[in-house]
Amino acid sequence: MQAEIIAVGSELLTPARLDTNSLWLTQQLNELGIELVMKMVVGDERERLAAAVRAALERTPLLLVSGGLGPTEDDVTREAVAQALGRPLVFVPELLEASERRFRSAHRVMAEINRRQAFLIEGAEALPNEVGTAPGQWIRQGERAVVLLPGPPGELKPMFSRHVLPRLAPLVPPLVIRTRVYRVTGLAESDLDQRISPVYKRYANPATTVLAAPGDIQVHLRARCSSQQEAEALLEELGGQIEALLGDRIYSRGEPMEKVVGELLRARSATLAVAESCTGGLLAERITSIPGSSDYFLGGFLVYNDRTKIALAGVPGELLERHGAVSEPVACALAEGACRRTGATYALAVTGVAGPGGGSRTAPVGTVYIAVAGPEGVEARCFRFLGDRERVRGFAAQTALDALRRRLLVSSRAPAAAPPQPR
């Protein structure tokens, strides 16, 4: 089966914005064995959008339209698709009531304009929006199907997964697709590819894709077979070789680092605190982005100058004077202070120069010390990250979490009383 995607929104036709929903949707379609043959971006113009919808449905049996379902005048998707299909819009009182309930539960009054979102194209099924106010729509036209989805990714994704996938699956012949993801840190993309490409290039199936973000590379394997056993066997064959080549640089099968570290802490009934200088809260923000993280994360310190490093985290002033804030002894003192003052089993500390200013000869921009304190003692390492402020902070947070992951893996192999294992 073939599909097209139309992203609606004049802002997506400006030099500063891209339609990224289509990437995620493509992935979802591909996993069902549906091929994307064209995608389009159309502005908030009803006539033009109606023409694009009509043309797409003439050549392709499945059309996904994202965006333009909001309450305002420039949200024209409902009207345009109705026009393209030659069907009227129908007011559905239940949708209005649901929307009013939603506003009431937030102690707000629903603006009259939200009535627009209570209109369905005749014959459409409403797709519930658990996150926002605009419902989606699922419309069959003979053998064809049109799906209207809200533009915000946080609304589009759950709606597609919960309400569109189950409706699409019966329309396509079963093709078994099994994927495996390895998430890797501590290697540059080119180094990783040099290691594993001689292996994965021997396989057309599974197909291998390498996606790189700062400090976080994903290796995707994707097997397409007629049976699940066959697909699993292929993944196991290629995956086993990749695991052997990358070892403990692989930190998960898809979960983010903060989840992996959280699970290791939980399994050990251990707790965590942080003391952040240059990451300024990013490390804690990542840790606490995981629901239930209060089971192991206690809190910590944001220490953005010398005074707070001393007053909050208890770093001795003479250590700062002698070594400077961006140094191994200060990183260690921050981690120990966070452990001591919060009572946590482990603590992570980050101190460095995120830039663009603040660099010096001994600590140029990108220099970051990361310390881990725990029952086995405290240890700091120096890193030099390349890139702008955001990238340096991102690398620093990821590397700090990885340092804790490695410490926890070692500590599980050696009881706390034994001397630390050489690594």
Q: Rule CB under 8 A: is residue 361 a binding residue for a copy of itself?
A: no
Q: Between residue 138 and residue 177, which ones bind a copy of itself under the rule CB under 8 A?
A: 152, 154
Residues 98-137 that bind a copy of itself (CB under 8 A): 102, 105-108, 110-114, 131-133
Kindly report whether the peptide bond that precedes residue 15 is cis, defined as omega within 30 degrees of 0: no
Burial class (CB in 10 A: 0-12, 13-18, 19+), 338: buried
Is the bond preceding residue 420 a cis peptide, omega within 30 degrees?
A: no
Binding mask 199-228 for a copy of itself (x = CB under 8 A): --x-------xxxx-------x--------
Cβ distance to a copy of itself smaller for residue 48 or 322: 48
Residue 14 is a binding residue for a copy of itself (CB under 8 A): yes
Sheet holding 367-374, edge to edge: 272-276, 346-352, 367-374, 377-384
* 38: contact with a copy of itself by CB under 8 A: yes
Q: Per CB under 8 A, does 324 bind a copy of itself?
A: no
Smallest distance from a copy of itself to CB 250, Å: 18
Contact 325, 331 (CB under 8 A): no
Taking CB under 8 A as the criterion, the residue among 86, 170, 247, 291 binding a copy of itself is 291
Considering CB under 8 A, how many residues would be counted as binding a copy of itself?
Answer: 108
Q: Is 48 in the site for a copy of itself (CB under 8 A)?
A: yes
Write each residue from 15 to 34 as x if it is in contact with a copy of itself (CB under 8 A), else as -, in one continuous string.
xx-x-x--xx-xx--x----
CA 24 to each of CA 65, 66, 223: distance values in angstroms, whole numbers, following the listed order: 13, 12, 18
367 contacts a copy of itself (rule: CB under 8 A): no
Q: Which residues pair with 155 in a beta bridge?
A: none
- Does 269 interact with a copy of itself (rule: CB under 8 A)? no
What is the maximal distance between C-alpha atoms in the chain? 79
Cβ proximity of 404 and 272 under 8 Å: yes
Q: Which member of 55, 92, 96, 410 binds a copy of itself (CB under 8 A)?
A: 55
Burial 280-298 (b: 16+ CB within 10 A, else e): bebbbebbeebeebeebbb
Q: Please, is 24 exposed, middle or buried when counting C-beta atoms within 10 Å of its C-beta (0-12, 13-18, 19+)?
A: middle
Task: Give ∠ CA 149-152-157 in degrees, rounded to 5.
Answer: 60
Find the part of the chain contacting a copy of itself (CB under 8 A) among 121-129, 165-173, 239-247, 349-357.
Answer: 349-357
Does residue 37 touch a copy of itself according to CB under 8 A? yes
Q: Does 267 bind a copy of itself (CB under 8 A)?
A: no
Residue 239 vs 366, nearer CB to a copy of itself: 366
- Based on the shown chain and the rule CB under 8 A, indicate whether residue 280 belongs to the binding site for a copy of itself: yes
Query: Interface with a copy of itself includes 274 (CB under 8 A)?
Result: yes
346-352 and 272-276: which strand pairing? Answer: parallel
Give the C-alpha separation, 418 to 394, whole Å.
34
At closest approach, how far in Å is the CB of 295 from a copy of itself? 10
Could you say which of 136, 150, 300, 352 contacts a copy of itself (CB under 8 A)? 300
Shortest Å, Cβ 363 to a copy of itself: 14
